[in-house]
Amino acid sequence: MIVPSAIDISATSTSNQPSISAQPLTFVLFASASHSRPQLTIVQDEEDYYPAYANAEQKEIETLGQKINNAALEAHAMALRPGILCHASPLRFDKHTKHEVMGGMNIHVNVEFQDGVTWLARIRRSNATSPPPVVRDYIILSEIATLQFLENVNVPTPRLLGYALKTDEGNNVGVGYMLIEKHPGKPLDWARATEDQKHRIIDQLADHAIELSKHPLDKIGSFNRPGDEHIGPIAREEFSDVTDGAIHALGPFTSMQEYYIGHLHDILDRILTRQLYTHHPLDAYLIHRFLLDLTERFWPVEEENEKIYLNHADDKGDHVLVDDDYTITGIIDWEWAFSAPCALSFNSPLVLLDLGGFYAGDPAISSAESYLADALERKGGIELAESVKGGRKRRFFEFCCGYDMYTDWEGFKGLFEGLRRCVDVYGELEWEDWREIALERYEEDEGVLQLVVDGQEDVVVR
């Protein structure tokens, strides 16, 4: 069975400098059970791209629907609510309602009980860009453990009701899944909200932050053992590698400096082994080598016994469910959550950023972020407010690490310039001038020498 996934990227020039051309290329990946690697199809224009992408989604949903044993799923749900019949909605593709069941990483099946209660079966999407099963299962277990932790936190989050990994003995559903409460409400549409509605949302987010600050943790990492609060390695695809079927993930860490040093070394290693940034490896290597040198400026070693808190890590707005009065009814999608110091965990949610200014490298926080800082101060969260006020430079650093420069080179340049200005290190230089200095600065670096010797870049290091 073929499961395609479409990825839209922009063409680049063949020169040493990344560039964005006006002609978009679309790569459609087809994962086949009979091939160890996905097949790649290039679509030349948007008229071909959108039908191809819709076809990829349709095939993905139809393939997953064929795998799900609805009767077994219903049996598990009814075992958790004895004596009450339920019905699991068949998973079918409908372009008009797909957004109600399909997110970026998961697909949801309604499980409706006879007494009006509705649960969701949360199932990981499966396509050509999905991580290996062992990584997928680690992330699922982390989200399960996170939801269990949140049961004791006064923040509206889905209650976990049951789960099974695909390989669990006795799982006859055919896929891994978790059963969770279905919260009322709809995803927050920040752009359509009025100023008063935005302020109402921000005030509630401030309350949630203060509540989470009452539940400190002991190290940086992800919950990874359902049933207890053990913190292990980071549960993210980019922090994980698989060797001989076993997962090797980065973490846990004792400081954000250690976190980023480990993350950046991993990125540099993957560039050298042609796993990342294969189109402009030297530029990517120079950037991340420079970020490694800046890590201590952005994340000095924290004071001993600094408290650690849970961080959502995917807070771009659609993780918030609201009713018609803009009361928050649920905070969802905790699969990438990890624990981190106050400065990161209580930095402004991404949804509050002024994206135009942010990608232009503007060091000033947005008016929405300022309102959040004020709300936190009014409610007694002084340290949390300081995390928001000083959060822009750390956000630049976070975004630059591992950024998809190939797809959005112009966006990256703005972030990178903003980052350099924040710490007053080559902040006045244009990209070409910075690159020349970086080549000289790192001319003896083994990675730079390897990239040049291997012929991956047509450049002479001076």
Phi, psi of 86 (to 5 degrees): -145, 165
Q: How far apart, in whole angstroms, are the C-alpha atoms of residue 163 and residue 97?
A: 25
The domain locations on the chain are 187-224+251-276+283-426
Buried b (16+ CB within 10 A) or exposed e, 142-167: bbbbbbbbbeeeebbbbebbebbbbe
Contact 4, 29 (CB under 8 A): yes
In this prediction the pTM is: 0.87
| Token pair of 76 as six digits | 């598990």
**Residue 246 DSSP one-character state:** E
**Which residues are CB-neighbours of 240 under 8 A, at least 6 positions away?**
131, 135, 138, 233, 234, 247, 248, 249, 250
Q: Find the largest Cα–Cα distance for the chain.
A: 77
**Which residues are CB-neighbours of 53 under 8 A, at least 6 positions away?**
6, 8, 26, 28
Phi-psi region of 185 (alpha: psi -120 to 50; beta: other; left: phi over 0): left
Q: In CATH, what is the architecture of 187-224+251-276+283-426?
A: Alpha-Beta Complex (3.90)
- Total Cβ atoms within 10 A of residue 9: 15
Q: What is the pLDDT of residue 39?
A: 34
Select from 9, 450, 397 the least CA-distant residue to 268.
450
Residue 32's DSSP bridge partners are: 2
Q: What is the pLDDT of residue 407?
A: 87
**Residue 162 DSSP one-character state:** E
| Token pair of 26 as six digits | 């679309």
Q: Which helix (DSSP H) or strand (DSSP E) does residue 7 occupy?
A: strand 2-10
Q: Three-class SS of residue 294?
A: helix
- Total Cβ atoms within 10 A of residue 461: 16
Q: What is the pLDDT of residue 282?
A: 95
| Token pair of 456 as six digits | 């991956």
462 residues of the chain, pLDDT tens digit each: 333 333 333 333 333 333 333 344 444 443 333 333 333 344 445 455 668 777 888 889 889 999 999 999 999 999 999 999 999 999 988 877 777 788 888 999 999 999 999 999 999 998 888 899 999 999 999 999 999 999 999 999 999 999 999 999 999 999 999 999 999 999 999 999 999 999 999 999 999 999 999 999 999 999 999 999 999 999 999 999 999 999 999 999 999 999 999 999 999 999 999 999 998 999 999 999 999 999 999 999 865 568 999 999 999 999 999 999 999 999 999 999 999 999 999 999 999 999 999 999 999 999 999 999 999 999 999 999 999 999 999 999 999 999 998 889 989 999 999 999 999 999 999 999 999 999 999 999 999 999 998 765 544 333
